[in-house]
Amino acid sequence: MIRVEFLGPIQKDPLELDITNLNQLAKILQEDKELSQWLQNSAVAVNDTLVSSLDVELEDGDKVSLLPPVCGG
């Protein structure tokens, strides 16, 4: 299983999904209307490392995080 976490202001509980890559995740999340405002502007990390393309394979136990726009300080 892959754990998907939504950080900061994205008010959504984590998901546990049976997927093997980020393309599958994109397909699933794009069907979720409450996420539509976040997918275009959120960064994606796999196991706490930012990734810049969907061509990433996932292994059982991996964690995917969505990071919406930031503003520290």
For residues 20 and 62, what is the distance between their CA atoms, to the nearest angstrom? 10
Residue 1 has which token pair? 């299983």
**Is residue 14 involved in binding other proteins (CB under 8 A)?**
no
Span between the terminal Cα atoms of the chain, in Å: 36
Q: Smallest distance from the beta carbon of 5 to other proteins, in angstroms?
A: 9
Q: Smallest distance from the beta carbon of 44 to other proteins, in angstroms?
A: 6
The two beta strands, 63-67 and 2-6, are parallel
Quick note: the x/- pattern for other proteins over 31-50, rule CB under 8 A, is --------xxxxxxx--xxx
Q: Which is nearer to other proteins, 23 or 57 (CB)?
A: 23
